[in-house]
A and B are shown apart, each in its own frame.
Chain A
Amino acid sequence: MKKLALWMVPLALIAAALPASAAGLSWIKDNYSKALAEAKQRKLPMFVEVWAPW
């Protein structure tokens, strides 16, 4: 796994913005409170992806 401790080295083989989802997944961006409220209302678990643009 890639630790962020060496943050000045590019760490993950990911970048740029998330394209439209072919899988039909409706993503909430950078808003934990909103996702939590929705998960409570719909009684669903949350899937959370932490990513970095570099």
Chain B
Amino acid sequence: MRDLLNHADLAGYAGQFVWLELSYDAPENRTFLTKYGAEATPTFFVIAPQDELVTAMQTGAMSLEQLRQFLDRGASGADARSQTPADAALMRGDKLRAQQPQDAVTAYREALRLAPANWPRRQLAETSFVEALQDNSEWRLCAETSATKAAHMTRDDLFARMVVGGLWCLVSTDRSPWSDVAFQKLQPFAEEALALPSTVRDHRDEIYRTLMKLSVARNDNAAAAKFGDRWLAELDAIKPDSDEERSALDIARVESIQTFGNPERILPALKASELAMPNNYIASLRLAQMELAAKHLDETIAACDRGLARSPGANGRPWLLQIKAQALRQKGKTAEARRTLQEALQAAQEIPNQGSRNMNVHSIKKALQQ
């Protein structure tokens, strides 16, 4: 996604916005992240400077075409005169989405009610509606709406987003007769989305992983393994042209194995990446995670130590220490594991984001009590 923001085709937008990038890790961004409710990455906002109100918001990856549409929508949203009532309701939904998903659902529903027959943003509004239902934990309506609307959509990147939204809602709920029906309807659409050249890597990742989760929930491990193999084969076929892309591929590998699969399958790629990126602590961390999953305890500890020597920062340090403590405990080195957890607890106090900090402190304290 970050490569996309440097795409030469966006040059026409250079003078139309002030461009701001905010790292989730940086303490100075905490006020913004809290105020605007950014709870996922990547998240994109267009903000009008006069009142600091959001005129467009999108969570998750976009294709180049979607990004262009998002920028156009954001720019026109800042100029209320160019809006139809349906556009205004769509913009209202975007504004509300991060912090008031229930009201966002209402706004998107209103946008669709007000939309003229030939409204060019209908598919966007339908997709945003499903995503807001997901945000609002309305799993059944989300999945069923996704399955119904996807059937009639143009096969493009919004179609893929619609399918992704529906699949996540199915993953989020217990298996039931209605969810089985919705899964049967959505699975062919998922395959269609995977066959589309416009489906970006982040969405392919989400489709494969949700299909794996849904297969496991239906006791079909063979199907989960097949989806995992397909995704890992796709990732292996990509030759990274930068460290950024190498990291992206490795993250996808790890997430795939964390969903279902044998960690041994991806260890060679992760070891190669750690060597190729000698200053990147996350490469060591990813390797440590998978060494631990493969029960290679000495290798886990060694990878954590290498990561800790690579300036891991406020988020990385407690994370590495917790992985190391798990490996030490599994080796029977209880006292050393405890010392490492105490070190992790101290490091966790420095995590800038309050939610992450609290979650880490809680889980480390819980581990210390065991």
Interfacial residues, chain A to chain B (CB-CB below 8 A): 1-5, 7-32, 35-36, 38-40, 42-54
Contact = CB atoms under 8 A, between A and B. Distances in A.
A11 B254 CA distance: 10
Interface string B23-51: 11110110111000011111111111110
A50 B368 CA distance: 33
Nearest to A16: B244
A35 B18 contact: yes
B2 A40 contact: no
A4 B24 contact: yes
A36 B50 CA distance: 9
B23 A27 contact: no
Interface in B1-36: 1-2, 5-11, 13-26, 28-29, 31-33
B193 to A, nearest CB: 15
21 contacts: A1-B40, A7-B360, A8-B319, A10-B254, A12-B41, A14-B248, A17-B244, A18-B2, A18-B6, A19-B6, A19-B244, A30-B23, A30-B28, A32-B22, A39-B18, A45-B17, A46-B49, A48-B45, A49-B5, A52-B23, A53-B282
Nearest to B357: A7
A29 B20 CA distance: 6
Interface stretch (B70-78, B104-112, B260-268): B70-78
Contacts of A2: 40-41, 60, 206
Interface of B: 1-2, 5-11, 13-26, 28-29, 31-33, 38-50, 52, 55, 59-61, 71, 74-75, 77-78, 131, 134, 164, 168, 201-202, 205-206, 242-244, 247-248, 251-252, 254-255, 258, 280, 282, 285-286, 315-316, 319, 322, 353, 355-356, 359-360
Nearest to B17: A47
A32 B355 CA distance: 21
A40 B52 CA distance: 10
B348 to A, nearest CB: 11
A7 B318 CA distance: 12
A29 B5 CA distance: 14
Contacts of B17: 44-47
Contacts of A35: 18-20
A44 B247 contact: no
A24 B14 contact: yes
B18 A47 contact: yes
A10 B251 contact: yes
Given A15-B247, A54-B315, A48 B47 contact: yes
A45 B53 CA distance: 10
Given A4-B356, A12-B41, A52 B47 contact: no
